[in-house]
Amino acid sequence: MLSSLIRLHPSSLKPAKDETEEDIFSSSLGALFTDDQVNQHGGPGSRVMYRSSRFGDIELQLPEPVKEEERGLFAHYVWNAGVLLAELIGRGKGGFRGEVEVELGVNGEIKAGARERNAAEKVTGVERGSVAEASREKLQRDFEEYSWSVKGERVLELGAGPGSGLVSLSCALAGAEWVTSTDHPTLSILSTIQSNIVANLTPARLASLSLPDPPPIQVLGHLWGTEELVEPHMLNRETMVAFSAPSPQYLSAKLGYVHGWSYTRVVSADTLWMAREHVNLLKSIDLFLADGGRAWIVAGFHTGRAKVVGFFEEVEAYEGRDEGGFEVERRWEVDVDGEVRAWDGERVEGVVERKRWCVVAVLKRRERRIA
């Protein structure tokens, strides 16, 4: 289901001039191995189309890495974790299991006809009417009934680059009070996020969603674990000045910086693959998340379940400001078709199977210790 929402823009069907053999091979895996789930979309400098169930087509330009270290950030792909989080926020709820699935032609066009997924028949090894089936259905309902609405919320995205701003865009279109989209302070990444926001927050789209005014939204560079937020034009003023000048009023540095502990929602997709950054990610959540707020974390298992498990171990050990720290309020495993199963840190699965699944977690602050 998730992969059916993403397709290459017609202009990107031909290989980019600097696309490597590795890039071409990665983008062709779904055609070569039909049982293999595609969990990354696009490539350096390409354009992709995301068909939102609520907002329609969103066109995303992906960044063109300039240096090898930029390439190592893997922001030149859209990952399924970001598509899943964008879809949850767009819908405002977690249920899309059993819905009609869009079918695409060889050139990415929407084909007539669809098929209904029979979710109950997909569950292997679970007998109908059994306690296990009842437990799984309860877990499914729990996920589907959880509210992913950001209407009126102050939202910060950490690591917006791997989706080129898709999750931040979805928050803005879903009625957030304001949105701050952040990623590594790299010019190619931040300028791409910024241009995608400008291109997709059009008057026509806003009018169709009954949004009279565009939501305040800004794009800033941020290194996890620090207190610094950097405006893109500060990275390279000569390069950015021509781009920044025509930006709409809602994408303006005049908004000023939002102080720490001010965001009611902190969102982050596919940011757990760097184990060395887990503590720094938690420090940034700790710095910006308001009391009573929630952090939504979605991540794939494509780099191994151990890294995801390691993050949740750091969550348990982390003691933030006032020795409060965080606790996992909710946690599910969700596959590309909306199937839900319980979190299991010791689950053993093959590479093909684990690429189908993401962990979806809700973090909240623990009660602070009273001296």
Element (H, E) at 145: helix 131-145
Residues whose CB is less than 8 angstroms from the CB of residue 253 and which lie 6 or more positions away in sequence, other chains included? 218, 231, 233, 244
Query: If pLDDT is split at 50, 70 and 90, which confidence band does 261 have?
Result: confident
Q: What are 275-297's pLDDT values in tens digits?
A: 999 999 999 999 999 999 999 99
Is the model's pLDDT at 125 over the cut of 60?
no
Query: If pLDDT is split at 50, 70 and 90, which confidence band does 107 have?
Result: very low
Least confident of 113-117, 266-270, 339-343: 113-117
**263-269 and 289-300 beta bridge pairing:** parallel
Higher model confidence: residue 315 or residue 62? 315
Query: If pLDDT is split at 50, 70 and 90, which confidence band does 268 have?
Result: very high
Residues whose CB is less than 8 angstroms from the CB of residue 162 and which lie 6 or more positions away in sequence, other chains included? 74, 75, 77, 78, 79, 81, 82, 269, 270, 271
Least confident of 131-145, 253-267, 324-338: 253-267
Q: Residue 235's pLDDT is what?
A: 56
Tell me how far the alpha carbon of residue 22 is from its chain's centroid.
24
Q: Residue 93's pLDDT is what?
A: 75
**47-52 and 56-61 beta bridge pairing:** antiparallel
Average pLDDT over residues 333-356: 92
Which single residue is written with the structure tokens 């210790």? 369
Q: Residue 146's pLDDT is what?
A: 94
Element (H, E) at 61: strand 56-61
> What CA–CA distance (Å, rounded) separates 250 from 215?
7
Is the model's pLDDT at 234 over the cut of 90?
no
**In the predicted model, what is the mean pLDDT of the chain?**
77
Predicted structure pTM score: 0.80
Is the model's pLDDT at 255 over the cut of 50?
no
Q: What are 11-57's pLDDT values in tens digits?
A: 655 555 555 555 555 555 444 444 567 777 777 768 898 999 889 89
Q: Residue 175's pLDDT is what?
A: 92
Phi-psi region of 359 (alpha: psi -120 to 50; beta: other; left: phi over 0): beta
Least confident of 205-214, 243-252, 362-371: 243-252
Query: If pLDDT is split at 50, 70 and 90, which confidence band does 120 have?
Result: very low
Closest among 185, 168, 191, 209 to 247, alpha carbons compared: 191
